[in-house]
């Protein structure tokens, strides 16, 4: 099969260039390096697809590396959740790595740095150091400890490691240039004292390396060829390279850091800090609340890994600011779910429909196609009887020609069943329609092949038999934020845009075949949308999440009028 030439993103161009300039394909290695301080979200999904995707196209290994240098924020719970999410996405990492595995090397390298006069122990307060650091427009000035003798630095650093000092008393700083136009080069802190247990090294260490003294070295130790991160790390690149300069040897590969723009999604936030706030303030039920843009939330909502990967591939990667429209994500779930979801009938806003010429007490089982997109999906039987539920929105006493549904005197087909005609309706004291009476054409049965069954009527309705249907909880979701860019307002906090009606729990009436559904099962409720079974399901009650609605042209027509 001729494959159309795929266009490359700018990262792939860089790699192609490296390959042309003599990089061996065997030297390619990537990594996905999350900090285990929260759950992965759609932004991470993009990065995962980028790195692991590169691994697949170049047949190169990809490490999963936990950037765990801050025990104050990191937990094993997050490590486990991250591994689960990456696996669910369908990717296999080569090595499972931890920055904390390199603490000894990092310490040794720091000692080496001190010995060569390129690092010193600073004993000032953080305020004093901040003051000397200057501002983006003004150079910094040297601090009083900058020229501390090597022996004294060595002694103090060792005692920091031995736990002789409390937090904040001393730090180890690189000696670079307090006047550099790049703030990060103004003698960055390399090590700080933290008397906290680490989820892996426990209390073995009480000094912890900073990000900049860890990331490049970790890449180097793992021989990662291309270290990809988001744009806000661009200013760190100079420091990344400075750190590598201190320790790379000629016969080993020198990693390259390259930066891409993080993906923003409209009507949501993708920042661990902000997602954490939604969880802590109880706006959502947890990190895996189906409204969350986390991978675990999307999974619970009924999204498939394929949908997310296709989405990530479609939006690609670049260097400019962006807000990707959620409709693109929704397109990809629908596209996949349409292919794989069995069709079923469920009524969410029931209106009783009585077929007056259908014998009382009679029932029959009609044959229904499971998935018109998949011949192998087969057929099932659905029960039909005199009393049915249809959707309230599917009946009007009067309506114009654009309304393809049931109206008095009008005809409609009941999906997989008969053509019916509405004759009358009953109202309660407030004037609400509570029942519709209709007649059916016994010869019009679907699939019977009779002349009547072949008749074209404009509308087809889904339905359930009142006697056979069973109740289930159905959770309908709306976007979590009313604003397209909730954290894009300087004067307003993103929390102000939280949609108060993002969750609507209702009771639905489902066809009996659904009784055996188990957690995670996905269905298309015909004419309504895609739904999956939520983990809150119990032996007594099934709970469904609406993953996404079907495309709804009728809703658009109505909006216009």
Partner RNA sequence: UGGCCCAUGGUGUAAUUGGCAACACAGCUGGUUUUGGUCCAGUCGUUCUAGGUUCGAGUCCUAGUGGGCCAACCA
Piece of the chain touching RNA by CB under 7 A; list 24-32, 85-93, 330-338, 382-390: 330-338
Residues 208-237 interacting with RNA (rule: CB under 7 A) = 208, 210-211, 215, 231-236
Query: Binding-site residue total for RNA (CB under 7 A)?
Result: 93
Note the helical H segments in 208-291: 215-222, 237-245, 272-280
Radius of gyration (Cα) for the chain, nearest Å? 31
The alpha carbon of residue 270 and the mean position of all alpha carbons in its chain are separated, in whole angstroms, by 9
Catalytic residue among 12, 35, 75, 473: 35
The interface with RNA within residues 380-409 (CB under 7 A) comprises 402-405
Decide: is 70 part of the binding site for RNA (CB under 7 A). Answer: yes
DSSP 20: H
| 357 lies in the binding site for RNA (CB under 7 A) | no
Instruction: Output 289 or 391, the one with its CB closest to RNA.
Output: 391
Rounded to the nearest whole angstrom, what is the least distance from the CB of residue 71 to RNA in the complex? 9
Among 184, 221, 283, 495, binds RNA (CB under 7 A): 184
Task: Say whether 294 sits in a helix, a strand or coil.
Answer: strand
331 touches RNA (CB under 7 A): yes
User: What is the C-alpha to C-alpha distance for residues 512 and 306, in angstroms, rounded to an integer?
Assistant: 30
Using CB under 7 A as the binding rule, whether residue 446 contacts RNA is answered as yes
Rule CB under 7 A: which of 494-533 touch RNA?
Answer: 524, 526-527
- Shorter beta-carbon distance to RNA: residue 59 or 400: 400
> Of these residues, 272, 386, 445, 546, which one is catalytic?
272
- 424-431's contacts with Cβ under 8 Å and 24+ in sequence apart are 425/395, 425/397
Q: Does 365 bind RNA (CB under 7 A)?
A: no
Span 186-205, contacts to RNA by CB under 7 A: 189, 192-194
The reply to whether 391 belongs to the active site is no
Which pair of structure tokens corresponds to residue 279?
A: 């969880």
Whose Cβ is closer to RNA: residue 266's or residue 285's? 266
- Taking CB under 7 A as the rule, does residue 261 contact RNA? yes
CA distance 113 to 154: 10
Is 471 an interacting residue with respect to RNA (CB under 7 A)?
A: no
Closer residue to RNA in complex, CB, 233/481: 233
Contact 35, 73 (CB under 8 A): yes
35 has catalytic annotation: yes
Rule CB under 7 A: say whether 546 interacts with RNA: no
Q: In the set 1, 21, 59, 135, which binds RNA (CB under 7 A)?
A: 135
- Angle, in degrees to the nearest 10, between helices 326-340 and 305-315: 140
Concatenating the DSSP letter of every residue in 101-120 gives GGHHHHHHHHHHHHHTTSEE
Choose one: 20-28, 78-86, 452-460, 537-545; the region binding RNA (CB under 7 A): 452-460
What is the C-alpha to C-alpha distance for residues 394 and 390, in angstroms, rounded to an integer?
7
Using CA atoms, how far residue 338 sits from 335, 380, 394, in Å, is: 5, 18, 23
> Counting contacts by CB under 7 A, is residue 133 touching RNA?
yes
Are the beta carbons of 504 and 476 closer than 8 angstroms? yes
Do 244 and 216 form a contact (C-beta atoms < 8 A)? yes
Q: Which of 146, 262, 319, 352 is labelled catalytic?
A: 262
Q: Which of 83, 84, 169, 479 binds RNA (CB under 7 A)?
A: 169
- Contact status, residue 522 vs residue 302, Cβ threshold 8 Å: yes
By CB under 7 A, residue 491 contacts RNA: no
Q: Are 291 and 480 in contact (CB under 8 A)?
A: yes
Q: Which of 10, 155, 364, 443 binds RNA (CB under 7 A)?
A: 10
Q: Catalytic site residues?
A: 35, 262, 272
């Amino acid at each position: 099969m001729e494959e159309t030439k795929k266009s490359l993103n700018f990262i792939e161009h860089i790699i192609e260039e490296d390959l042309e300039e003599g990089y061996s394909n065997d030297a390619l290695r990537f990594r996905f390096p999350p900090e285990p301080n929260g759950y992965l979200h759609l932004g991470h999904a993009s990065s995962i697809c980028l790195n692991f995707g590169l691994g697949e196209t170049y047949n190169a290994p990809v490490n999963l590396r936990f950037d765990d240098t801050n025990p104050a924020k990191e937990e094993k719970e997050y490590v486990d959740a991250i591994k689960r999410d990456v696996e669910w996405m369908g990717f296999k990492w080569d090595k499972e790595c931890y920055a904390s595995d390199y603490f000894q090397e990092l310490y040794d390298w720091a000692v080496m740095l001190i010995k060569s006069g390129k690092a010193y122990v600073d004993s000032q307060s953080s305020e004093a150091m901040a003051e000397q650091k200057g501002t983006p427009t003004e150079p910094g000035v040297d601090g009083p400890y900058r020229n501390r003798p090597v022996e004294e630095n060595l002694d103090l650093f060792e005692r920091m490691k031995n736990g002789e000092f409390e937090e904040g008393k001393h730090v180890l700083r690189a000696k670079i240039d307090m006047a550099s136009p790049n703030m990060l080069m103004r003698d960055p802190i390399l090590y700080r004292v933290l008397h906290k247990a680490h989820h892996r090294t426990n209390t073995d260490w009480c000094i912890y390396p900073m990000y900049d003294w860890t990331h490049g070295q970790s890449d180097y130790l793992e021989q990662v060829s291309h270290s990809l991160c988001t744009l806000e790390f661009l200013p760190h690149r100079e420091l990344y390279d400075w750190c590598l300069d201190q320790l790379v040897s000629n016969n080993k590969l020198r990693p390259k850091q390259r930066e891409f723009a993080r993906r923003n999604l409209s009507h949501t936030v993708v920042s661990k800090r902000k997602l954490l706030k939604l969880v802590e303030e109880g706006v959502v039920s947890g990190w895996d609340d189906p409204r969350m843009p986390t991978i675990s939330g999307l999974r619970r909502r009924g999204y498939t890994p394929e949908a997310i990967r296709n989405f990530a591939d479609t939006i690609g990667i670049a260097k400019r600011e962006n807000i990707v429209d959620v409709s693109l994500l929704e397109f990809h779930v629908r596209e996949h779910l349409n292919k794989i979801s069995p069709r079923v009938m469920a009524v969410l806003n029931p209106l009783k429909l009585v077929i007056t010429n259908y014998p009382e007490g009679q029932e029959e089982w009609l044959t229904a196609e499971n998935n018109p997109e998949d011949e192998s999906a087969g057929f099932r039987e659905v029960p039909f009887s005199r009393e049915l539920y249809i959707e309230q929105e599917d009946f009007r006493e009067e309506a114009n020609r654009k309304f393809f549904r049931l109206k008095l005197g009008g005809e409609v087909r009941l999906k997989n069943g008969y053509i019916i005609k509405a004759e009358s309706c009953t109202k309660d004291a407030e004037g609400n329609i509570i029942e519709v009476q209709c007649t059916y054409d016994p010869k019009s049965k679907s699939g019977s092949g009779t002349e009547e069954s072949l008749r074209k009527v404009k509308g087809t309705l889904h339905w359930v038999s009142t006697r056979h249907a069973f109740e289930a909880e159905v959770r309908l979701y709306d976007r979590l934020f009313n604003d397209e860019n909730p954290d894009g307002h300087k004067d307003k906090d993103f929390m102000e845009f939280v949609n108060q009606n993002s969750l609507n729990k209702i009771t639905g009436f489902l066809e009996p075949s659904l009784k055996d559904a188990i957690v995670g099962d996905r269905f298309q409720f015909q004419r309504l949308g895609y739904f999956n079974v939520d983990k809150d399901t119990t032996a007594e009650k099934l709970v469904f999440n609406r993953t996404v609605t079907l495309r709804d042209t009728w809703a658009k027509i109505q909006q216009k009028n």
